[in-house]
Amino acid sequence: MPLLANTYALHFSLQYLTNRFLIRTPEDMQEIEALAAGLKAYTTWHTTSALQECRECCGGKGYLSENRIDSLKNDTEIYTTFEGDNTVLMQLVAKSRLTEFKKEFGNMNLFSILNYVAEKAKTSLTELNPIVIRNTEENHLLDPEFHLSSFLY
């Protein structure tokens, strides 16, 4: 299920990226380039690991050509290298993120920077808060309202 959910999320992300590219302005290009680099690396790594998981889930039968996993693996695994090696593309993403951070911080005075850091720390603390108990009751987990709010989140 996590791999399938990831696949759907990546499908919609790629549609988003395509739309951003179609309505691009020159100012958007750096961000779109970083998005494309990151999504290319992430989706192709995801493809490789999802196919491996599928193969293992089917046991020895996953190795049989009639189940098609072998040809999908053959066709897709080189994608982590060509059209830009994934590691190198992720370096491009990191550089772009750092440039953005530098710009954001460049426009801030000391007070705004402290506020920004405090806001980030607050979010991390809320996420890590051991006092917040996750609700694992069956009724809650089967409630469509909960599914919808999780999906929106």
Distance (Å, whole) CA 57 – CA 44: 20
Distance (Å, whole) CA 119 – CA 35: 25
Count the site residues for ligand FAD by CB under 6 A.
Answer: 7
Is 74 among the residues that bind ligand FAD (CB under 6 A)? no
Q: Which of 31, 83, 100, 104 is catalytic?
A: 83
> Which position among 58, 64, 78, 98 is part of the footprint of ligand FAD (CB under 6 A)?
78
Is 87 among the residues that bind ligand FAD (CB under 6 A)? yes
Rg (CA), the chain: 21
- Lookup: tokens for 129: 């808060």
Stretch that binds ligand FAD, among 35-43, 57-65, 78-86, 135-143 (CB under 6 A): 78-86
104 is catalytic: no
> Which position among 9, 58, 64, 88 is part of the footprint of ligand FAD (CB under 6 A)?
88
Distance (Å, whole) CA 109 – CA 136: 44
CA distances 11 to 25, 61, 88, Å, are 23, 28, 23
Stretch that binds ligand FAD, among 10-18, 30-38, 76-84, 129-137 (CB under 6 A): 76-84
> Which residues are tagged catalytic?
83
